[in-house]
Copies of this chain bind each other. A is one copy, B any other.
Amino acid sequence: MYTIGQVSDMFNLPISTLRYYDKEGFFPNMERKGNIRYFSDSEIEAIHVIECLKKSGLEIKDIKQFFKWVTEGPSSYPDRKQLFETRKEAVIAEIKHLEKTLAMLEFKCWYYDKAIADGNEDGINAMLPDKLPKDIQKLYNKAHKL
């Protein structure tokens, strides 16, 4: 059993955020003694799931729906499975997008290394858009496809 302050330290989440999540209904079975919240392993796991779903791009209102499904028991297993499946696809797509972003950043690092070495961008611009060194050309193409 953990207090809100301990959980805050554990996850590096502000106490106010944990209270906000509670108000949103993300800890439907949390214990209280007097007025004070006590987080058990079940709430700790809930926070792992919240962080995961948030990072996957899900909105708070849909995370709420997930916890509503949890309270409904086994009949909602297929809905929950579908949710995770959909989020998985979204995260895979997001990683792909970030890899394209990374290609652009690596291209630009090369670009400015060369600009610093040359003192200007003329040499680079003469190579654009398709006469770059082979590896750099790959980055450029990945970064610029629509």
A99 to chain B: closest CB distance in Å? Answer: 7
- In the assembled complex, A59 has its CB within 8 A of some CB on chain B: no
With A74-B115, A81-B116, A146-B10 as given contacts, are A55 and B97 in contact (CB-CB < 8 Å)? yes
A60 to chain B: closest CB distance in Å? Answer: 17
Q: Is there contact, CB below 8 Å, between A84 and B112? A: yes
16 cross-chain CB contacts under 8 A: A10-B146, A49-B108, A52-B108, A55-B98, A56-B105, A77-B112, A77-B116, A78-B112, A80-B108, A81-B109, A81-B112, A81-B113, A84-B105, A84-B112, A95-B102, A98-B98
Query: Which residues of chain A have a CB within 8 Å of any CB of chain B?
Result: 10-11, 48-49, 52, 55-56, 74, 77-78, 80-81, 84-85, 87-88, 91-92, 94-95, 97-99, 101-102, 104-106, 108-109, 112-113, 115-116, 119-120, 143-144, 146
